[in-house]
Amino acid sequence: MIVKLGPCRLEFVQGDITQQHVAAIVNAANPALAGGGGVDGAIHTAGGPSIMHETQTQYPEGCALGNAVATGAGDLPAKFVFHAVGPIWKGGRQGEPEQLAMACRACLQLAVKHHCASLAFPALSAGAYGYPIDLAAANLIKTTMDFVRWHQKPAVVRFVLYDQGAFGAFTRAVEEVVPR
Ligand code: APR
């Protein structure tokens, strides 16, 4: 599924984020940048040890909630990994929506800063961190659309959804958010 927004487009695919041929991919990281399972485990496994080496040497203090930091992408097809820290879902009234939007915007800003024409996001916070997938989808899509409308870049933002449930949630959310 593709949504065009002026010179930019949003793409929605089912797949593995580590396999994406884009300039940058987003990691669903934790504040310690300590690695983990899910997207984080897949990126460090497929990308090799240089990514963890870079996070440890460049960001020994980790990354704050709602922010993101950039490293190279090791053996992955992408050029950069943006390690984003989304919120742990605690019911939705403890700032989680704004924290998720901040993490998303931080990645989009890093893409602009590093001249990345294409950026791939996973369903940030919607796995181990428990953010309801439909709410995460609407939040990430709306935040991205607002950003690209204003900045007219990155040219391509691809949401890479691991399973059919996540893919369905994102495509339904697009239909709700995109004006007809
Ligand atoms: N490609 C794309 N999406 C994937 C992949 C992959 N290879 N692997 C898992 N996913 C999906 C999950 O199914 C989920 O929908 O990405 C979404 C986000 O899940 P998580 O990776 O668990 O991310 P998050 O909820 O943000 O939790 C982050 O988990 O692995 C730890 O270190 C990480 O502590 C951090 C926490």
Give domain limits for the chain.
2-177
> Of 3.40.50.150, 3.40.190.10, 3.40.220.10, 3.40.50.2300, which CATH number belongs to 2-177?
3.40.220.10
Asked whether residue 178 carries a pLDDT value surpassing 80, the answer given is no
For 82, the token pair is: 């943006």
Q: What pLDDT, in 10s, does the model give residues 96-142?
A: 999 999 999 999 999 999 999 999 999 999 999 999 999 999 999 99
How far lies 10's CA from each of 7, 13, 141, 143, 159, in Å? 11, 10, 9, 12, 8
Nearest-CA residue for ligand 1 atom 29 is: 128
Q: Whose CA is nearest to atom 5 of ligand 1?
A: 39
Task: Please identify every residue annotated as catalytic.
Answer: 40
Probe target for ligand 1 pocket from 18, 39, 45, with the most ligand atoms within 8 Å of CB:
39
Which tens digits make up the pLDDT trace of 33-88? 999 999 999 999 999 999 999 999 999 999 999 999 999 999 999 999 999 999 99
Q: Which amino acid is at 35?
A: G
Q: Is the pLDDT of residue 150 over 90?
A: yes
Atom of ligand 1 nearest to the CA of 38: 21
| 96 Cβ inside 6 Å of ligand 1 | no
